[in-house]
Amino acid sequence: MLPSRFDYVAAHSIEEALAAKAQGDEDTRFLAGGQSLLPMMKLRLAVPSKLIDINRIDGLGGVERRNGHLRIGAAARHADVAASDAAFGAVAAAAPWISDPLVRNLGTLCGSVAHCDPEGDWNSVLLATGADVVARGPGGERSIPIAEFVQDMFANSLASDEMVTEVRVPVPSGRSGGSYVKLERKIGDYATVAVAGHLELGDDGRIAAAGLALTSVAPINLKVAEAEALLVGNQPGPELFAEAAELAAAAADPRDDVRGTARWKRQVVRTFTGRALAAAADQALKG
Amino acid sequence: MTAHTTTPPEIGGIGHSLKRVEDARLIEGQGNFLDDISLPGMLYMALVRSPVAHARINGIDIEAAMAVDGVLAVVTGELMAAHNLAWMPTLSGDTQAVLATDKVRYQGQEVAAVIATDPYIAADGAELVDVDYDVLPAVVTPQQSLDPDTVVIRDEKEGQTDNLAYEWECGDDAATAEAFARADRVVSIQTHYPRSHPAPLETCGIVADVNPVTGQATIYMTSQAPHAHRTLFAMVAGLPEQNIRIISPDIGGGFGNKVPIYPGYVVATAASLVIGKPVKWVETRTGNLISTGFGRDYHMSGELALTDEGRILGLRVDVLSDQGAFYSDAQPSRYRAGLFHVVTGSYDFPAAHITCRGAFTNKAPGGVAYRCSFRITEASYLIERLVQTAAYELGIDPADLRFRNFIQPEQFPYETPTGFVYDSGDYPTALRKALDAVGYEQLREEQAEARAQGRLIGIGIAHFTEAVGAGPAHTYDIAGLKMIDSAELRVHPTGKAILKLGVKTQGQGHETTFAQIVAEQLGIPAYDIKVEHGDTDHTPYGLGTYASRSTPVGGAATAVVARKLADKARHIAAHLLEAAVEDIEMAAGKLHVKGSPDQAVTIQDVALAAYTNLPEGMEYGLEDVTYYNPPNLTFPYGSYIVVVEVDPDTGVWKVERMVALDDCGVRINPMIVEGQIHGGLTEGFAMSSMQWITFDEDGNCIGSNFMDYLVPTAWETPRFELLETVVPSPHHPIGAKGVGESATVGSPAAYVNAVVDALAHLGVRNIDMPVLPDRVWEAIDSAAS
């Protein structure tokens, strides 16, 4: 790896990290797992002037339930999420599908979320589960709904002086289930197509809340609101899911590329949406 | 599997699955690879590569790069031209730019080189070299290339007025036409074997150390053929050959990628010569994938003439190969399309005719034999896809059609219509054994039941025959150098030995296998024999390791030289035992008088005597060297059967079974052979399922890193069930054939045949590699509509 020259700061507290960011220029970047940043630096596609390493900050890690939500700290690795008993539903289903074991051991969920790569898995999961991203800046902490956090391809809504400190996924009080169905060409590859599903059932067995989001088939991770609206208030079942799958296929905006034709990707969205919702319903009913 | 052995395990001759002696250092991270080499005062080189596929160079501004602290020189094509080194010959008689002077002809082509005091500074400098390009239209398909209106890519080449790289034909046109005239049925297939890349984990590199005082050039280089490279360096650079020492250290995979001489080697050597300091160049991953020797890229049309009963009468093949910007196939000089004419495969029929044309395109040059003996992979794929197609068209079971056409065991040696003489084989037994192992007849029933339920199961067969171990000097040379090989064996006074080889391991296990060949002949324990290879000052001449030639040629040389020493050992033993040499018998390291096993000496006793107590008039020492000119190639073969299930909703397919029977003659180290087969089956799976180098319409390479060029891991690789038969090569001293490439050659057709078989009832006959799920689903979808 032969990156361009850069400065390096190891922060020992969030305050120290934020101060370093404030002092740096616009090419100053935080370094957590580095699993997207370092390969880009290696190719000199990313040329940061300074890296602020946040790995030595106490308390930034952790995957735990707290105040009705699942908290995933900024330094928590994908592998921590995969190994956690606190993770549930779509989060638990997606974790083992993140890249490969080497990336999972170093890469962080929060880093992936902040990166806003539409081929990344986590933002679909967070969109389906209605999660919030917690950011800290000089003015304090704020909680940003994931749908507002994801602005565009590789663009989030953080201010230049803010850093992500954790992600909060609400834990449903009733019966719920989640899933992540992913097609990848090989382990470690980005998704060709992936679908995150999340269902909450009411006491009457009808769907009380639904989340559905798609990976790699649009310029951003795509929340399929039309399908979610269709699902809510209905009994889960194959015909309903097939209808939702059609809406998802229609909402997807895939491209022809080396992974396959757009037409086929739409078909995979259709198929996988059906499977993702069936798996989520199955989990909710068993749970 | 129990192998036949004649030596006890402690000697470890042929048939013993000895653990590889090289593994200890490789597994513990103690190997010595090119990038581990560091010399005092060493400088570092980075290449500037073209970002575009086709452009005229208006100028190169090196000022900003030279201004970087630590940059010592920026080498351009103009500077190389001043030393008459801007162009170099390729292994197929073409020329290739070392550093571009007039035009760039593919994305990634070498344009300039920056020499600096550390590798980071060299990379910084390379970024600052400012090349002014006048972009030209890119030619990205061979069909487009041969259109008369297309721009001439090789306009610098005297007499070149089009983009035709070569034309070649083979076989009997008239006899083939006659066969087709009397055929009941003609079955055809058009298929593209896509461009792939050997993608060794270690990229290419060099440390060139030219001593300005003595003129000695010590060149550490990732080379599969160090001796041939030494001679080529001498010829191209005009250096006296005695002053060139090429050392090929531990190599992290070659697969054909480290056969050619690349521009980076030449520039680094020239830089060291001019500057007088060692210069290191280690290619980046992207540099390796976008500029060095690729494999395949063959557009093939094949036709089989058949009777209604399924007898093949003749084969006609037309190939259009995409050569990239320079015709640089690494292949025997007599042939323009390698050994592609082995395309008649395992079948007995009288007539074949093959025509091949190569086209220049704005893509990287190469055409190396990626884990394959010179275009044999393409040939094997085509005939096995054709036979499968014929089976569907004739309504004959694909296994049955093969049985009806196999060359029979009693027909060996068998001369093919394209001129090979197959040495040995028993194809029907091999296929039958593989079919029984997979449970073929029952699987066909299960397939029919599954189809009735809407499930798609496919069974694919490939029965391949390879031609490996080039080769006899009367036919095979590369750049005029005959494809012989050598072994030098020295037995030391304490009975330990050193074996020096002309071939060069890149992970195949030579240090173990070749010691076992000596152990078999002399009875010296294999672990007492050091195997040296890769240093041209310390090993006898040879053409190197590729095309599965190490065991057929270098292994034969090893057996022969060991037998020479065994003969001398008998004479010494006769002297020590005071017996007649005719009465000395030798087995497992003991030499005894016939009929008196107690009257014996050991090979170690003999070794000491060779330096201390010889019969009158005998020369001291126990060493010799052999140059082996093989009488023929060897022809390993195999029967591979793949079972897949296809998801009709997505086109995703999964291998349920993979049964691979290989016959490579006598197996020297069965464990190493199985490891080679596992690797080859994995590469075959990769090419058939996911792996290709492709380009966009501007000639940008898609596949320039391991995110885009996919190498399967253990996770997606199927489980393999291995079988064997052993029909020895009749002409090889120990009956062995090459095996390193068999599975890469044979398996792609089996995987593809399996997927096509799953869809055959829908009328699907072909899906080109890589058989991506979208291609499968589109085939299902268009068959349905």
Task: Look at residue A2 and tell me if it is in a domain.
Answer: no
Chain A residues in contact with B119 (beta carbon < 8 A): 2
Nearby residues of B751 by Cβ (< 8 Å), 6 or more positions away: B460, B642, B644, B655, B684, B685, B688, B689, B771
> Catalytic annotation on B371?
yes
- Give tens-digit pLDDT for B683-694: 999 999 999 999
Separation in Å, CA B387 to CA A234, B396, B401, B687, B757: 54, 10, 8, 20, 12
Sheet order of strands, A175-184 included: A175-184, A191-201, A207-215, A222-223
Is A184 in CB contact (< 8 Å) with chain B?
Answer: no
Is B127 in CB contact (< 8 Å) with chain A?
Answer: yes
Q: How far apart are CA B254 and CA B273, in angstroms?
A: 27
Sign of CA dihedral B309, B315, B321, B326: positive
> Catalytic annotation on B190?
no
Q: How far apart are CA A215 and CA A272, in angstroms?
A: 11
The answer to whether residue B2 scores a pLDDT higher than 70 is: no
pLDDT band at B238 (very low <50, low <70, confident <90, very high): confident
CB contact under 8 A, B774 and A261: yes
B661: β partners = B639, B723
Q: How far apart are CA B179 and CA B3, in angstroms?
A: 44
Smallest Cα distance from B356 to chain A, Å: 29
- Give tens-digit pLDDT for B92-111: 999 999 999 999 999 999 99
Is A45 in CB contact (< 8 Å) with chain B?
Answer: no
- Give tens-digit pLDDT for A141-190: 999 999 999 999 999 999 999 999 999 999 999 999 999 999 999 999 99
> Catalytic annotation on B245?
no
Picking from B459, B312, B471, B302, the residue whose alpha carbon sits closest to that of residue B379 is B302
Q: For residue A36, what is the nearest residue in chain B, using CA coordinates? A: B707
The answer to whether residue B184 scores a pLDDT higher than 50 is: yes
CB contact under 8 A, A185 and B694: no
- Give tens-digit pLDDT for B271-300: 999 999 999 999 999 999 999 999 999 999
Give Cα B566 to chain centroid, integer Å.
Answer: 33
- In chain B, where the domains are located: 23-31+485-628, 34-138+204-282, 424-468+632-785
> What pLDDT, on the 0 to 100 scale, is given for residue A1?
79
- Give tens-digit pLDDT for B699-713: 999 999 999 999 999
Q: What integer best gives the mean pLDDT of chain A?
A: 97
Note whether A122 and A220 are same-domain residues. Answer: no
Indicate the Cα dihedral angle A274, A146, A199, A237, nearest 10°. Answer: -30
B491 backbone dihedrals φ, ψ, rounded to 5°: -105, 125
Chain B residues in contact with A43 (beta carbon < 8 A): 286, 705
- Average pLDDT for A201-222: 97
Residue B391, number of CB atoms within 10 A of its CB: 22
Which one of the listed residues B356, B372, B664, B701 is annotated catalytic? B372
Separation in Å, CA B497 to CA B563, B565, B624: 14, 11, 12
CATH number at residue A227: 3.30.390.50
If one looks up domain B424-468+632-785 in CATH, what number appears? Answer: 3.30.365.10
Note whether A100 and A160 are same-domain residues. Answer: yes
Domain count, chain A: 3
Task: Look at residue A1 and tell me if it is in a domain.
Answer: no
Contact B406, B346 (CB under 8 A): yes
Q: How far apart are CA B755 and CA B644, in angstroms?
A: 6
Is A259 in CB contact (< 8 Å) with chain B?
Answer: yes
Note whether A141 and A234 are same-domain residues. Answer: no
- Give tens-digit pLDDT for A115-150: 999 999 999 999 999 999 999 999 999 999 999 999
> What pLDDT, on the 0 to 100 scale, is given for residue B1?
44
- Give tens-digit pLDDT for B121-131: 999 999 999 99
For residue B16, give the 3-state DSSP assignment: coil
- Average pLDDT for B442-458: 98
CATH number at residue A134: 3.30.465.10
Nearby residues of B755 by Cβ (< 8 Å), 6 or more positions away: B458, B460, B644, B646, B653, B767, B771, B776
| E strands in B265-311 | 279-282, 295-306
Residue B67, number of CB atoms within 10 A of its CB: 10
Amino acid identity for residue B157 in this structure: K
Is B196 in CB contact (< 8 Å) with chain A?
Answer: no
Nearest CB to B650 within list A43, A189, A268 = A268
Which CATH fold topology does B23-31+485-628 show? Aldehyde Oxidoreductase; domain 4 (3.30.365)
B186 backbone dihedrals φ, ψ, rounded to 5°: -120, 125
- Give tens-digit pLDDT for B634-660: 999 999 999 999 999 999 999 999 999
Picking from B291, B295, B298, the residue whose alpha carbon sits closest to that of residue B358 is B298
Range of the domain at A182: 175-286
Q: Angle at CA B345, nearest 5°, toward B673 and B332?
A: 75
The answer to whether residue B745 scores a pLDDT higher than 80 is: yes
User: Using H for helix, E for strand and C for coil, what is the string for chain A?
Assistant: CCCCCCEEEECCCHHHHHHHHHHCCCCEEEECCCCCHHHHHHCCCCCCCEEEECCCCCCCCCEEEECCEEEEECCCEHHHHHHCCCCCHHHHHHHHHCCCHHHHHHCEHHHHHHHCCCCCCHHHHHHHHCCEEEEEECCEEEEEEHHHHEEECCEECCCCCCEEEEEEEECCCCEEEEEEEEEECCCCCCEEEEEEEEEEECCCCCEEEEEEEEECCCCCCEECHHHHHHHCCCCCCHHHHHHHHHHHHHHCCCCCECCECHHHHHHHHHHHHHHHHHHHHHHHHHC
If one looks up domain B34-138+204-282 in CATH, what number appears? Answer: 3.90.1170.50
What percent of chain A has a predicted confidence (pLDDT) above 70?
Answer: 100
Sign of CA dihedral A38, A61, A146, A255: positive
Quote ipTM for the complex.
0.96
B424-468+632-785 matches B34-138+204-282 in CATH topology: no
- Average pLDDT for B477-502: 97
Separation in Å, CA B145 to CA B25, B292, B582, B700: 48, 21, 68, 16
Chain A residues in contact with B649 (beta carbon < 8 A): 267, 271
> Catalytic annotation on B356?
no
User: Where do we find the tokens 């996911």?
Assistant: B690
Q: What integer best gives the mean pLDDT of chain B?
A: 97
Contact B501, B532 (CB under 8 A): yes
Is A286 in CB contact (< 8 Å) with chain B?
Answer: no
Counting one residue from A and one from B, how many pairs have CB atoms under 8 Å apart? 59
Task: Look at residue A217 and tell me if it is in a domain.
Answer: yes
Is B690 in CB contact (< 8 Å) with chain A?
Answer: yes
- Average pLDDT for B584-608: 96
Nearest CB to A271 within list B650, B707, B772 = B650
Q: List the single best residue of B774, B775, B777, B782 to mutate versus A (max A Cβ within 10 A).
A: B774
Task: Look at residue A244 and tell me if it is in a domain.
Answer: yes
Smallest Cα distance from B785 to chain A, Å: 15
Smallest Cα distance from A272 to chain B, Å: 9
Contact B288, B199 (CB under 8 A): yes
Smallest Cα distance from B649 to chain A, Å: 7
Nearest CB to B651 within list A2, A188, A264 = A264
Chain B residues in contact with A5 (beta carbon < 8 A): 120, 124
CATH number at residue A29: 3.30.43.10
- Average pLDDT for B485-513: 97
> What pLDDT, on the 0 to 100 scale, is given for residue B237?
82
> What pLDDT, on the 0 to 100 scale, is given for residue B3?
65
CB contact under 8 A, A43 and B286: yes
Q: How many CA atoms lie within 13 A of A229 on its CB side?
A: 5
Is A96 in CB contact (< 8 Å) with chain B?
Answer: no
Note whether A29 and A78 are same-domain residues. Answer: no
- Give the single-character DSSP code of B4: P
Task: Look at residue A211 and tell me if it is in a domain.
Answer: yes
> What pLDDT, on the 0 to 100 scale, is given for residue A177?
98
